[in-house]
Structure 1
Amino acid sequence: MEISAVLNTREDLLNSSKNDDGFLQQSLLIDEVMPLLLETKVVDSEDINHTYYLSNDDKIKINGYTVNSTGERLQIFIVDDSYLSESNDEFYVSLRNVYDEQFNRAIRFISSAIQNKLENVQESEPIKPLLAKLGSEDGLTQFDVIEFILVTLSATVSFRGEETQLRTIHYKDEIKSFSHKFLGEKTQSKELLFIKRVVDLNYLANIYASQGRAEPLKVIFKDVIGKNIEVIKAADEEDFESYLCVLDAPILADLYKRYSSQLLEKNVRSFLQFKGVNQGIKKTIKDEPEKFIAFNNGLTITATEAKTSYYKKSLYLESLDDFQIVNGGQTTASIYFSRKEGLDISNVKVVAKINIAKTSKSKDLDDLISKISEFSNSQSRVSKVDLRSRSPKLVQLKSLSESVLPPSGNKWFFERAKGDFNTQVRKSTNGQKLKNEFPPKKRFTKELLAKYYCAWGDAPHLVKKGGEKVFRMFIEDIEPENGDGIAINREFYEKLIAKIILFRTMEEVYGQGKNAIGQLRSAAVPYAISAIYKWTNTTNDGTLILEKIWKQESLSDGLIEYLKELLFLMNELIKKYSLSEDYGEYSKNQELWVAIKRSSELNEFMDSSSSKFALSL
């Protein structure tokens, strides 16, 4: 990759991370980066808890956090504030200790939180729920991995040679031990895996260049499990080879602990806790572990390259490039969580088939993986919706965005492929004109599309989760496995744009930072929209509201004032009915939405004369 590519990426991120007054905001920068990290499976959702905390005295700083979908991995985000200047004169980093200093600020936070050394933080501070969690027995039990993600607008380089060269700085994983005594009881110890990840301009520019394709996951087995894996070669063809092996369950548990959902990047099924088939997996581990290998279908793994070696006439697998579990992801996760619950997995073994595709073409690899997933005898059937990487209906939607002219005469830009807009800007003879024609508020990605579309429904908790869960809900709605689904026509497009305007306007009304209603915008907005949907869905009012928004391309002052009242109420109801002090995380649970929509407070508000006036046309 050329230096010019990172310069372009830097300029784009600086411009898109400014508020309405033209000032760059660290929270907006993270919001810009999160969808890119979701594309590459670094995070499970683009949703983040913005919890800016800075203590110069203690040399502590974090910008936000998120917890992965299965709950065992806490991801801490730090923005490197040394490289936020718009000047392009000094943004190169060649020394590891520059990044070390930033990581250490977040590591000090974790250590201090676990040891309850930050007790002076006010209850109203957004960071307080995380502090309470980390300093509790529950938190020490829940989290196994702390991943520190440093977001920096610097380019990591080497100055050796005549020209500056881009390079990557990797950090080795570390095991940190913590001991704590809770309520005077016996001291408890916990080992946490610390992972450091630098998300610099090199990394971000690569995502744009690859249109969101994840950086291939390379697994070096000695680094993760301390040994190589004995295998036998089952096939060796010109463009394909296959290995067979038997894996001890602790190996799979360690791999899942280190890489989590990255292992399953092309296997879109999510772990379904211990329900259905997974409950059976757990029962076998508990009651008949030695029979697991007979009862379970095993794993199918794909890779693009394998490094092997012989030792005492046996063949061993040292590493795999682009390692992916395409069948057996639920088995892997179930084994990990069984061990976490205290079950003995030492006698559990799993058969694995490892297929190496000797092709450099990503399309050929994707086709191979889709066919393996579709035809494998899996524990839970993979639907055709899961396997489709490019929906024809998204192509139709892209076409509508290019042809339908809104009443204002200003079209919207649907970025179906990651980096599509920036690519068009650079190809254009007048890139600035294109930027003026399609400012950020007139553009949307397929991930945002799913969120805006699904908020107008009865599942705001899934909208809050974001990521693949809400995108899958959107795809299954418009293009179900059985039936024709929803027609993607002009009427659909107009209502979709109205939903986008409604969602984004409500985000503005809620606000950010000191002037915001609270710290729960990412939950309060979809919850409030779902309330409007529920109370207007029995009549035609909901459709009329969307039609009016499309025609005006804005919301009336009266409706905005009403929505502000609703958002104030929803903010309080989320806190009142949440069964956890971490309101943002708990708002991902369906139980909260059920409690709120049945609450007397919301019902009285929605049945009030002000609601009837604002929502009737």
Structure 2
Amino acid sequence: MEITTAEFFHNFRQELLVGAEAKGSFQLFEFMETVANELVETGVTEGFEICHFRAQRGIRVDGYWFDDEGVLDLFIADFESRNELKSLTKTDVDAAFKRVVNFFEASINKGLAAELEITSPEYGLARQITDRKGAIRRLRFTLFSERLLSERINELSDSEVAGITASYQIWDISRLHRQRSSRNHKEPLDLDFEQMFGSGISCLPAHLGAEAYQSYLIVMPAEVLASLYEKFGARLLEQNVRTFLQARGNVNKGIRATILNEPGMFFAYNNGITATAQEVETKMTDAGLAITRIIDLQIVNGGQTTASLFHTLRRDKADLSHIFVQMKLSVIDSQDSESVVPRISEYANTQNRVNAADFFSNHPFHVRMEGFSRRLWAPAQEGAQRETKWFYERARGQYADAQSKLSPSEQRRFKAEHPKSQMFTKTDLAKFENVWDDHPRWVNLGAQKNFAQFAKRIGREWEKSPEFFSEFYFKRAVARALIFRSAERIVSSQHWYNGGYRANVVVYTLAIIGEILKEKNKSINYMAIWGTQKVPVILEEIIAIIAQSVHMDIMSPPQGISNISEWCKKEQCWINLKEKKKLFLESIPIRFFDDFISTIEETELSRTAKKSQKMDDGIEAQRRVLNVGPDRWNLALSKLQEKGKITLKEKSVLNVAMQIPNKIPSEKQSIVLISLLERADMKLEVEE
């Protein structure tokens, strides 16, 4: 049931109040982080750092992010925790952007950093702006507002600020509502080629008949592609491709060499781009059919080609005027995009094994975590009568989708069973896990980069031992979520906390506690935390003690480093903290360790869970295999023989499958059969 913007506003306000109370943070901070997380998830910005500062002379900033491509995002809030939905006028918008522009100009031209407290986040930002003066090539000013933007404001033109191109965007309550309500949970790009480039892009239809889905072959000018990437960046890339680039980060040397040395051969050497769109508009010109408009262009293969064209143009001043890129464009209805687009991406990227690194939403790991989250009831907390569930969002917007068709009374019941405070996403899970698994620096790099590293690591571990990701793993992840969120609340309430660098303090505090426990051959009793749905008082006391020491340490970086946030992203910061582990250990009373279990006990719990999961996997594999007809096993055998990708032992297993139901494959054989179908590029068609 679709709700109005006014209803969304009131729901969103309650969400903020609950979130701020749970984390012990200011409502303003919760508002900024909630909206920023939406933008990070959909690629509008790569990351977000909170930095609230205002001065009497019309200067304000509430957050920022420097990306690796010379773009600086500066965020400003319009938030007063209003009770009613109000209108955001042009005057309000101009005044807000003026304040954040003033902050940038004062930082880059007027030495603002010299006036600020050296340990404050605003000093770090102002100083970083000064230090990166020559490297900032584009500014993006973004206003987050809890109000409803006036319909009189249609478009905000680019300008120049301190000689740098600047763009402006507003995320008001209605835009956030549209974002969360859209089927693919991403605001689609609307690309009008005639308006942007003066003409359409020549194309050749690659579909026949009205019933077939539309597809086109395009010879895309490299200048156009680089221009689109310049303007929209990662928003052009389908999520798994975005993750792929985050995990690698370097410009492809071979592509760069061709651009610079053999531009005329680029079309011949390059594999081209695979893309999808929700909608395409074409018109007939003297030169033939041309695409004039594309809605929701997503590059699902060729992200590295696109990024390399842009970077080589910017860094090497390359001439792209004689370079063209072949593009295969498929038009996929928005209703099918969630299931079809990832499959196109997966098949298009098999050559580079991107799927192992990118971790599609439909990867078995995420499907299994989702299954646990829908099945397992978390024990009721002390004093509560009702058990609840932790809702894992393996795909964006699942939590909202699950409620969209419910009646008001059904929605209340759903929220009682799945409290919003117990919803967590893939990027949340990556954060909770990497903190404890000796990778805290990744978490400080931002949600997308951290998830990219998590995806690579878990992808490898899944290939090696999928049964490791058991019910125990899920319950441990929930316990880690409880600890992480408890640490956020604890840090926020400390007398020494001044409002900055909480994320960095929390991450390194938990990582150091993990190191100390290893030293003592101890482990947190995650199953006890799952059982009580509460972090033990002793652990909370340890968090408070270590957090103060970590805060003091990171606030005193080595000489020559002025930005605390940037220092926390460096490997050396983590190395330095680990070297002081014994000092941190001395601050913890020895009696505190009595409440922890031994690492041997935790290993045994994990081993038992793996055995149980392996048995469950075998039973599930057998169930799925028995639903596949003999004809498909015959086809799989033919395909694998043609490719020369089958051993005699595997062929004998397939022979058993071809005799179902007269012969029944064992659980172990069933696992082999599923992998053989995948190797034959055949989907497991199961009649549920």
**Structure 1-normalised TM-score?**
0.82
Cα deviation, residue 414, structure 1: 2.3
1:62 aligns with 2:61: yes
Contact 2:258 2:266 in 1 (8 A): yes
The 1:27–1:275 alpha-carbon spacing in structure 2 relative to 1, beyond 3 Å, is closer
- Give the number of the structure whose alpha-carbon radius of gyration is greater: 2
Residue of structure 2 in register with 1:339 after alignment: 313
- Deviations along 1:103-135, one digit per CA (max 9) or x if unpaired, are 222122222322125343332331112212222
Instruction: Please show how residues 7-18 of structure 1 align to structure 2 within 5 Å.
Output: 7-16=9-18, 18=20
Displacement after TM superposition at 1:459 (Å): 0.7
Deviation at 1:585, TM superposition (A): 3.4
- Secondary structure of the structure 1 residue equivalent to 2:244: coil
Cα distance change of structure 1 residues 488 and 408 upon mapping to structure 2, 3 Å threshold: farther
Q: Is the 8 A contact 1:300 1:354 kept in 2?
A: yes
* Corresponding residue of 2:41: 39
Amino acid paired to 1:415? F
CA distance in 2, matches of 1:455, 1:23: 21
User: Structure 1: which amino acid aligns with 2:81?
Assistant: L
The partner residue of 2:286 within 303, 312, 316 is: 312
8 Å CA contact 1:414–1:445 kept in 2: the answer is no
| Aligned 1:249-288 pairs, distance under 5 A | 249-266=222-239, 267-271=241-245, 278-288=252-262
**For residues 286 and 214 of structure 1, do their structure 2 counterparts lie closer, same or farther at Cα, with a shift above 3 Å needed?**
same
What percent identity do the matched residue pairs reach? 22
Among residues 610, 613, 616, which one is paired with 2:588 in the alignment?
610
Which stretch shows the higher mean deviation, 262-271 or 521-530? 262-271
Structure 1 residue 344 displacement after superposition: 1.6
Moved more, 373-382 or 141-150: 373-382
Distance 1:424 1:104, change over 3 A: same
- Partners of 1:514 and 1:237 in 2: CA distance: 70
1:260 CA drift (Å)? 0.8
Q: Structure 1 residue 51: deviation in Å?
A: 1.4
Q: How many Å separate the matches in 2 of 1:609 and 1:51?
A: 31
1:120 and 2:115 equivalent? yes
CA contact (8 A) 1:60 1:106 kept: yes
1:415 deviates by: 3.0
Q: 2:353 matched to 1:381?
A: yes
CA separation of 1:174/1:259 partners in 2, compared to 1, >3 Å: closer, same or farther?
same
Determine the C-alpha separation between the residues in 2 that align with 1:394 and 1:104: 46
Please say if 1:201 is aligned against 2:170.
no
Task: Verify: 1:106 aligned to 2:100, yes or no.
Answer: yes
Instruction: Tell me the secondary structure at the aligned position of residue 216 of structure 1.
Output: coil
Match for residue 158 of structure 2?
174
Q: Does 1:369 align with 2:345?
A: no
3-state SS in 2 of match to 1:245: strand
Q: What is the deviation of 1:67?
A: 2.6
Q: For residue 63 of structure 1, report the CA deviation from its aligned partner.
A: 0.9
Deviations 1:87-107 (A, max 9, x none): x2x5134x4343222222212
Mapped pair 1:416 → 2:392: yes
Shift of 1:289: 3.1
Q: Which runs of 5+ in 1 are unaligned?
A: 159-167, 179-189
Within a 5 Å distance, the mapping from 1:575-614 to structure 2 comes to 575-577=555-557, 580-597=561-578, 599=579, 602-606=580-584, 608=586, 610=588, 613-614=591-592
- The farther-off stretch of 291-300 and 585-594 is 585-594
Q: For the Cα contact (< 8 Å) 1:524–1:570, is it kept in 2?
A: yes
Cα deviation code 1:440-465 (max 9, x no counterpart): 65554443233223221111122223
Partner of 2:50: 50
Instruction: Return 318-327 or 409-418, whichever deviates more.
Output: 409-418
SS in 1 for 2:143: strand
Alignment match, 2:219: 246
| Preserved CA contact (<8 Å) 1:240 1:355 | no
> Which amino acid is 2:275 matched to?
I
Counterpart for residue 78 of structure 2: 80
Mapped to 1, the partners of 2:588 and 2:328 lie a distance apart of: 63
SS in 2 for 1:110: helix
* 8 Å CA contact 1:169, 1:198 repeated in 2: no
Secondary structure, counterpart of 1:429 in structure 2: helix
* Contact persistence 2:244–2:357 (CA under 8 A): no
Q: For residues 127-206 of structure 1, what are the structure 2 equivalents within 5 Å?
A: 127-136=122-131, 139-156=132-149, 158=151, 169-176=153-160, 178=162, 191-192=164-165, 194-206=166-178
| 1:167-226: CA deviation from partner (whole Å, max 9, x where unpaired) | x95434414163xxxxxxxxxxx532x222211111222233237710111122345445
Secondary structure at 2:588 match in 1: helix
Q: Is the 8 A contact 1:478 1:485 kept in 2?
A: no
Higher share of residues assigned helix:
2
Tell whether the 8 Å contact from 1:13 to 1:32 is kept in structure 2 after alignment.
no
Unaligned 5+ segments in structure 2 are 596-688
Q: Distance in 2 between matches of 1:273 and 1:547?
A: 32
Q: 1:394 aligns with which of 363, 369, 382?
A: 369
CA offset digits 1:397-439 (Å, max 9, x no partner): 2134436556776645423343627965974538678767776
Aligned to 1:541: 522
- Map Cα deviations across residues 271-297 of structure 1 (whole Å, 9 max, x no partner): 269878712222333333333222221
Q: CA deviation at 1:76?
A: 1.4
More displaced, 587-596 or 119-128?
587-596
Between the aligned partners of 1:392 and 1:23, the Cα distance in structure 2 is 33
TM-score, normalised by the number of residues in structure 2: 0.74
Find the aligned partners of 1:609 and 1:53 in 2 and give their Cα distance: 34
Asked if structure 2 preserves the Cα contact closer than 8 Å seen for 1:236 and 1:242, the reply is: no
Measure, in 1, the Cα distance between the counterparts of 2:8 and 2:177: 6
* SS of corresponding position for 1:142: coil
In 2, Cα distance between the equivalents of 1:275 and 1:560?
37
Distance in 2 (alpha carbons) for counterparts of 1:484 and 1:135: 49
What per-residue deviation string (whole Å, max 9, x for no partner) do you get for residues 228-274 of structure 1?
33334444542333333333333222211111110103434432698
Q: Which amino acid aligns with 1:529?
A: L
Q: Could you tell me which amino acid in structure 2 is paired with residue 49 of structure 1?
A: E
Shift of 1:80: 0.7
Indicate the larger mover: 440-449 or 215-224: 440-449
1:13-43 CA distance string (max 9 Å, x none): 4533544799962111112222222333222
Counterpart secondary structure, 1:140: coil
The letter of the residue matching 1:84 is S
Give me the whole-angstrom Cα distance separating, in 2, the residues matched to 1:16 and 1:211. Answer: 26
Alignment of 1:399-548 (within 5 A): 399-402=374-377, 411-417=387-393, 418=397, 420=399, 424=403, 427=407, 429=409, 441-474=421-454, 480=461, 482-511=463-492, 515-516=496-497, 519-537=500-518, 540-544=521-525, 546-548=526-528
